[in-house]
Chain A
Amino acid sequence: KNQVEQSPQSLIILEGKNCTLQCNYTVSPFSNLRWYKQDTGRGPVSLTIMTFSENTKSNGRYTATLDADTKQSSLHITASQLSDSASYICVVPRGGYIPTFGRGTSLIVHP
């Protein structure tokens, strides 16, 4: 069964701290993995797209990693800011453009 599992379900950290979010997938065949940020009341916005050949990709304070052998990805946020409070969703397309969404990790950054 094609699935995307994320952990933790929720996370609370202090401003300035780092954190790492996890994504495990069983979707096959694999083409790419995407991380989205969804602010409350907004649609998801893409942070990064990882293809099979990429191990690490950074976008500002966000760094995504991918291990295609173990089918795991992580999203590391450095020096968190209050504006990082959001839901972070891992997405893996199946059969072309039909994505499988994880449930997301709800991140709260406290001052």
Chain B
Amino acid sequence: SAVISQKPSRDICQRGTSLTIQCQVDSQVTMMFWYRQQPGQSLTLIATANQGSEATYESGFVIDKFPISRPNLTFSTLTVSNMSPEDSSIYLCSVADRGQDEQFFGPGTRLTVL
């Protein structure tokens, strides 16, 4: 199984600022994903982070608001830009390997926007 760490684990931010969340995996993985989990809700896929190219965003999410980087097979960042209180959520990084059914999740980053 993959071990995933996220930084920061939590943060409280002011409206209008940006926060970059880091995701580090202990092994090379094919696929990395970023999810959002709003209070009391299930997980919603934001985008698939592609190594060396632009991320693939799901409907309702755009690159200007959630820029993503993936410079290699073990690391990715998600930035939440120009934050508003509606962005208060848990943001989770997830990884999977092509051909494998298992998907592993990081511990999440709890973001509160004031």
Contacts and interface: CB of A to CB of B under 8 A. Distances in A.
Nearest to A91: B103
Interface string B44-62: 1100100000000000000
A89 B98 CA distance: 22
A49 interface: yes
Interface string B17-33: 00000000000000101
Interface stretch (B63-71, B72-80, B81-89, B105-113): B105-113
Nearest to B93: A43
A99 B45 contact: yes
Interface residues of A, number: 21
A51 B101 CA distance: 9
B102 A101 contact: no
B108 A42 contact: yes
B101 A42 contact: no
Contacts of A44: 43, 92, 105
A80 B69 CA distance: 42
Interface string A80-111: 00000000010100000111011110000000
A93 to B, nearest CB: 8
Interface of B: 4, 31, 33, 41-45, 48, 92, 94, 96, 98, 101-108, 110
